[in-house]
Amino acid sequence: MTWLITGGAGYIGGHVLQQLVAADVPVVVLDDLSSGSPDRLPDGVPLVVGSTLDRALLDTVVRQHRVTGVVHIAAKKQVGESVAEPLRYYRENLTGLQTVLEAAVAGGARKVVFSSSAAVYGTPDADLVTEATPCAPINPYGETKLAGEWLVRSVGRAHGLSTASLRYFNVAGTSSPRLADDGVSNLVPMAFQRLTDGQAPLVFGDDYDTPDGTCVRDYIHVADIAAAHVAAVHRLDAAAEPLSLTLNIGRGEGVSVAEMLAVIARVTGNPTPPRVTPRRPGDPARVVAAADLIHRELDWKAQHDIESMVTSAWAAWQQR
């Protein structure tokens, strides 16, 4: 009954791992440590350092640890970088997933939880995005996530796997300083870095068709993301027949970049006004989740608000 967690030494993966261990789910981690750290792993959790592109290594891990399910989190995730390096993103995100699924099927694993993204929706024409909203990604990152969902679903049908694709919205916050986001590509740590360096936070475009001209997003605490994964693992473990789920993970509340920066200014006590720069390629104006389906399917609901996301992240940042 062991679950393989790819990317389990990363920011999101570390939180998922922590909650799975707390729920007494046996786990093993595969991570290439390109952005992860062994320090995020709880004591006693096996870590295999390697790539999701390494089929031989994956076969060994699945066999030696008797893997019955996979939580696939490992991926490249920067939108702008994906626009500049599409070949790399398709190789890492899609070929890596294919290789993991091949090893899972060959080794007898029959459950897969796939980390997808709201980027699959592109620029949806809807106040709240449901799982039935047409998917039209506008950057290679989103394309790899949508194609990944198709692959997971098709493999599930062909081989009798139970699968769940979880579409993350904008992740923030931390459960502890040890698990905090080390990168500065997301809005909250990017703003912290700028403020720490005595610089103004950046706003990438203020001419979007939104109330204040800045992008609107659905921010979700990473601990809530992790709880959704645990709920998905339990649901797939308990399923008598193969399942195929595709679910949003969000709060259903839109917060603009300007509004988020105002919260950051209040929490940090640093009111430095932000500086507006040109739009980034591939950024949609508004993406906000409808989270009704995940509540019905997994009995899950977000527990944390914006203030707790920023406060927890700032406390961790100060301990870096």
**Do 225 and 80 sit in the same domain of this protein?**
yes
pLDDT at position 281 over 80: no
Which residues in the chain belong to E strands, given as ranges? Answer: 2-6, 27-31, 47-49, 67-72, 111-117, 162-168, 170-172, 202-204, 216-217, 219-221, 244-249, 255-256, 275-277, 286-287
**Do 53 and 160 sit in the same domain of this protein?**
yes
**Do 205 and 186 sit in the same domain of this protein?**
yes
Any domain includes 182: yes
Q: What is the mean pLDDT of residues 306-318?
A: 96
Any domain includes 150: yes
Average pLDDT over the chain, rounded to an integer: 95
* 141 is a catalytic site residue: yes
Counting the structural domains of the chain, the total is 2
**Do 17 and 56 sit in the same domain of this protein?**
yes
Note down the domain range covering 245: 2-171+219-249
Q: What is the mean pLDDT of residues 16-38?
A: 97
Tell me if 271 sits within 8 A of 310, measured CB to CB.
no
Any domain includes 297: no
**Do 88 and 114 sit in the same domain of this protein?**
yes
**pLDDT level of residue 208 (50, 70, 90 thresholds):** very high
Q: What is the pLDDT of residue 282?
A: 67
**Do 137 and 32 sit in the same domain of this protein?**
yes
**Do 10 and 142 sit in the same domain of this protein?**
yes
Q: What is the pLDDT of residue 320?
A: 77
3 vs 122: CA distance, rounded Å: 31
Q: What is the pLDDT of residue 182?
A: 82
Domain containing residue 136: CATH number: 3.40.50.720
**Do 203 and 100 sit in the same domain of this protein?**
no
Q: What is the pLDDT of residue 292?
A: 96
Q: What is the mean pLDDT of residues 114-136?
A: 94
**Do 224 and 279 sit in the same domain of this protein?**
no
pLDDT at position 304 over 90: yes
pTM of the full structure: 0.94
- Look at 61-70, 79-88, 235-244, 278-287 and tell me which has the smallest mean pLDDT: 278-287
pLDDT single digits (tens) 75-112: 999 888 999 999 999 999 999 999 999 999 999 999 99
11, 90, 121, 141: which one is catalytic? 141
pLDDT at position 202 over 90: yes
Angle between helices 306-318 and 257-268 (to 10 degrees): 50
pLDDT single digits (tens) 145-197: 999 999 999 999 999 999 999 999 999 999 999 999 887 778 999 999 999 99
Tell me if 235 sits within 8 A of 187, measured CB to CB.
no
**pLDDT level of residue 120 (50, 70, 90 thresholds):** very high
Any domain includes 213: yes
**Do 123 and 203 sit in the same domain of this protein?**
no
Domain containing residue 185: CATH number: 3.90.25.10
Four-residue CA torsion sign, 215, 179, 192, 308: positive
